[in-house]
Amino acid sequence: MSGTASAAGGFPVSIDLVVEAEGWPPEAELETLVQQSLDAAAAFVAADFAEAGEPEQGASELTVAFADDARVRELNRDFRAKDKPTNVLSFPAPAMPGEGPVFLGDVVLARETVAREAEIDGKPLDHHIRHLVVHGFLHLLGYDHEDDEEAEVMEGLETRILAHLGIADPYAPVGDDVAPGDAHRTTG
């Protein structure tokens, strides 16, 4: 299934949604979650780019795949030399010259890991899916969290996007026994 998200003040994003594994919410629900999440992200990213004096992001395309732990473990092993599943992986596409929408790449989520993290963190599954879709999308646009400065920028942007969607800060501590700064972090 595919659709297009276009945020007011943002840029249009065409989505190719692929459900590779059983156990995810219904495809129509996933389509809505992804479209709404990318719509909000596109608006915030456009504002972020404008504030930084960077060129506008034009019409874009990406694939969002809803897979399982086995598939994500395989991808993580083959492309990152980490033989374990993770919640989300992003695969930026190489820049291609030409007209029309820019293909950004692929975002792949792992069902069992995503569901387990949502349960552990006590958050609705759809909130965690939205967060990981936004996180993966930002990676495709060049954001990263390899050092503290990058992480602060990327996580701050994610938090603002998710707040716009009515979702609590995913990096805030969870529960009474969690020390500040020990909140669940995305790994992809």
Question: Known binder of ligand: residue 139?
Answer: yes
The reply, when asked if residue 184 is annotated as ligand binding, is: no
C-alpha closest to that of 66 among 23, 125, 112, 20: 20
Structure tokens at 136: 């993966």
Tokens 């939205």 identify what position?
Answer: 130
> Residue 46 is which amino acid?
A
Q: Are strands 102-110 and 2-6 parallel, antiparallel or unpaired?
A: unpaired
Q: Check whether 145 is labelled as a binding-site residue.
A: yes
Task: Give the bridge partners for 102, in sequence order.
Answer: 60
Residue ranges for the binding site?
Answer: 135, 139, 145
Residue ranges for the binding site for Zn(2+)?
Answer: 135, 139, 145
